[in-house]
Amino acid sequence: MVTHKYETQCKVDIKPSYEWSEQARESGVSHRELEVLALVVEGYKNKEIAQILKIEHQSVKNHLQHLFKKLDVKNSTQAYIIALNLNLIKLRGAIVGREDVSTTEITGEYFIELFRKIISGEYKVKEFSNEKKRRWLKVWLKEHGIEPYNWGDDK
C-alpha cells in the first residue's frame, strides 16, 4: 500500500473474471494489464511497477497502452474509472492517523454518485469549478456508458 499526501492508504484489488461485466469480458483485458493499472492507481511509478512485477519498464508502458486502447481511454485516471464501472477492480481505502481508522471499499456506484454531485454542483471540486468542465465530464461519462438515473439537473 502507498500512503498519499492526504494520509489515505489505497489498495486496488482485481476482481475475479466471473464478477466482470459482459462488456469487460468481451474487451479482452488481461489480468497483467489490470495488475499494472492497480499499481499505477496505488501510486507507483512505471519503473517501480517493472521492479515489482519483474518485467521490463517498456513492458509496463506497453501493458498500459494496450489497456487504454481496449477501454477506449486516454490516461490512467480514465482507465481506472472505466475499470471500476466494468467491475474489473475495486479500491479499498483507509484514512491514516485517526483513532477510528476504517477501511472502506470504494465501488463504481460510489464514483457515479460522486460524479453526480460534481456535475450538479452539489459537491465542489476545484478541477470542475465551472459549468463547461462539468458538462465535459457528463459527456465523457455518457460516451463511456456511465450514466446514473439522475444527474441532478434537467439539462
Which domains occur in the chain, in start order?
2-106 (1.10.10.10), 107-155 (no CATH)
Percentage of residues in the chain with pLDDT exceeding 70?
70
**38 pLDDT more than 60:** yes
Here the cell at position 13 is: 484489488
Name, of 5-9, 41-45, 47-51, 132-136, the range with top average pLDDT. Answer: 47-51
Q: Rounded to two decimals, what is the model's pTM?
A: 0.64
Higher-confidence residue of 1 and 63: namely 63
Residues 6+ apart with CB under 8 A from 110: none
DSSP notation for 66-115: HHHHHHT-SSHHHHHHHHHHTTSEEEEEEE-SSTT--EEEE-HHHHHHHH
pLDDT value at residue 68: 95
pLDDT value at residue 96: 44
What mean pLDDT comes out for the span 63-73?
94
